[in-house]
Amino acid sequence: MVTQAQSNLLTMRKLVVIAVAMLGFGYALVPFYQKICEVTGINSLFKPDEVKNTQVDAARLVTMEFDSNLRSNLPWTFRALQTSVRIHPGELTTVIYEVRNNSGRAVTGQAIPSYGPQLAGRYFKKLDCFCFTQQTLQPGEARQMPVVFAIDKDLPDDVNTITLSYTFFEVEGTAGKAG
């Protein structure tokens, strides 16, 4: 016959084993998730794209619009120096963004891109971008940052305008670090 104390001890052991197994499963998911992202190309925001076809489609023009946003707690001003450009698919293009730290402290931010229409993200190839790294600005510092890109010539014909939107977020826990 099992006493109440033995039953409680057995239940506690089962709970500890389940908790340890769940923790181990959580750690095992990180490399699994990274491999899936690498294979599918998902979440590859912080590295340059590969441009496989460098032919320019001179018969077609696409309007690129540039949008810039800040999270409400980021004490910066941020804008594209050009609000739009008309380019040929396959053409290498550089657009400059300007950012300024309006606070009295060093602040680190990270820009995250998004695209409209969303499917355009598959055809937008960034070769160089400030969004690949965190940006640390000292108090009052201003910086001009390029985005070098090409639109893949396989962009669907019904897409004539693409909006590239960047949102800068403050990176917590980096105050005072140089960058």
How is the chain split into domains, by residue range? 1-43, 62-170
HSE at residue 12, side-chain half, CA atoms within 13 A, is: 6
Q: Find how far residue 170's CA is from the centre of its chain.
A: 13
Q: Report d(CA 53, CA 75) in Å as an integer.
A: 40
pLDDT tens, residue order, the chain (179 aa) = 678 888 888 888 888 888 877 776 666 665 655 555 555 555 555 555 565 656 888 999 999 999 999 987 899 999 999 999 999 999 999 999 999 999 999 999 999 999 999 999 999 999 999 999 999 999 999 999 999 999 999 999 999 999 999 999 999 865 544 44
pTM: 0.68
Tokens 């001890």 correspond to 9
Class in CATH terms, 62-170: mainly beta
The pair of three-digit structure tokens given for residue 44, joined into one six-digit string: 């590859």
Q: Which two tokens stand for residue 143?
A: 């910086």
The end-to-end CA distance of the chain, in Å, is 67
Which residues are bridge partners to 115 per DSSP? 164
